[in-house]
Amino acid sequence: MTVDVAVSPACAYIFLDESGNLDFSQKGTRHFVLTAVSTKRPFPACHALDAYKHDCLEDFKHRLDKEYFHCAEDNRHVRGRVFELIATGLDDMRIDSIIVEKSKTGPALRQGKRFYPRMLGYLLKWILPRELTMGAEKVLVITDKLPIREKRHAVEKACKLALANSLPRTVKHQILHHESRSHYLLQVADYCCWASGVPRAQITTGDHVSLIRAARSALSALEPHLLRSYRNRRKIPINSRESRRGEI
């Protein structure tokens, strides 16, 4: 039996990933990074990544047994190739990141239940108006499946609040939590989140510098009351990126 499924070309997909933790003591990470990959179907990048994954499986010499891509765990050769494939698909997707230097975050925001919704709200408020302008009638937010139920509920609550505040009532939206291995664009979000947060000293040509610069440039909240916004959807030199500044 076949089931007909209505597919909307006006559905905006937003894939979310994060790095760092919400520990604001000296034991915590220096930065908290929240990254979104926005796109619509079809997903050309997925076809390229699927082909490369099978190239890895067929590489008996190097035994690249790749079930899925994970930037922090992939070797340098695989990482460099995945960055190249993502970079070739930047015309069909948009990368946005918020990078927060946690030591400069005001005390009132340091509670996870306030900090995460605020940062996610900034990110989605930057993305959603653009998607609406491009004709989105539905919004589907997909995050990596979080192992801690309390955190999953906090993320979902933050997403719902940000979506409700940013979308007209006529625009339907849904939030899903899937394993990263289930979707190549969650893996793209993981790679771009890593690229946004990695220290400059660790950037090498093997890590596809142009894409790291593009991913890093999207949104930055390095000061407690200032949001620096950058947008960059193609591989262009870092000194030619566009910038915008606003109060938060």
Structure letter (DSSP) for residue 239: G
Q: Is the pLDDT of residue 208 over 80?
A: no
Strand-strand pairing, 11-19 and 93-101: unpaired
What residues pair up with 172 in beta bridges, in sequence order? 138
- Residue 96 token pair: 């946005």
Compute CA distances 168 → 136, 137, 138, 162, whole Å. Answer: 11, 10, 11, 12
Mean pLDDT, range 124-146, rounded to an integer: 89
Split at pLDDT 50, 70, 90, the class of 1 is low
Can you give the residue ranges of every domain in the chain? 11-237
Q: Is the pLDDT of residue 226 over 90?
A: no
Least confident span in 35-39, 63-67, 148-152, 156-160: 148-152
CATH class for the region spanning 11-237: alpha beta
Contact 212, 195 (CB under 8 A): yes
pLDDT confidence of residue 100:
86
Burial (CB count within 10 angstroms: exposed 0-12, middle 13-18, buried 19+), residue 241: middle
Q: Amino acid identity of 3?
A: V
pLDDT confidence of residue 22:
81
Q: Which of 89, 93, 84, 115 is nearest to 22 (CA)?
A: 115
Split at pLDDT 50, 70, 90, the class of 4 is low
Strand-strand pairing, 219-223 and 172-178: unpaired
pLDDT confidence of residue 36:
93
- What does the buried/exposed string (b/e) look like for 98-116 if buried means 16 or more CB atoms within 10 Å of the residue's CB? bbbebeebeeebeeeeebb
Question: Tokens 């979080």 identify what position?
Answer: 146
Mean pLDDT, range 86-115, rounded to an integer: 84
Question: Tokens 């949104």 identify what position?
Answer: 219
pLDDT confidence of residue 14:
96
Q: Which of 41, 39, 43 is nearest to 5 (CA)?
A: 41
Rounded to 10 degrees, the C-alpha dihedral 98/101/106/109 comes to: 50
φ and ψ at 18, to 5 degrees? -140, 160
pLDDT > 70 fraction of the chain, expressed in percent and rounded: 73
What residues pair up with 142 in beta bridges, in sequence order? 15, 176
Mean pLDDT, range 194-210, rounded to an integer: 58
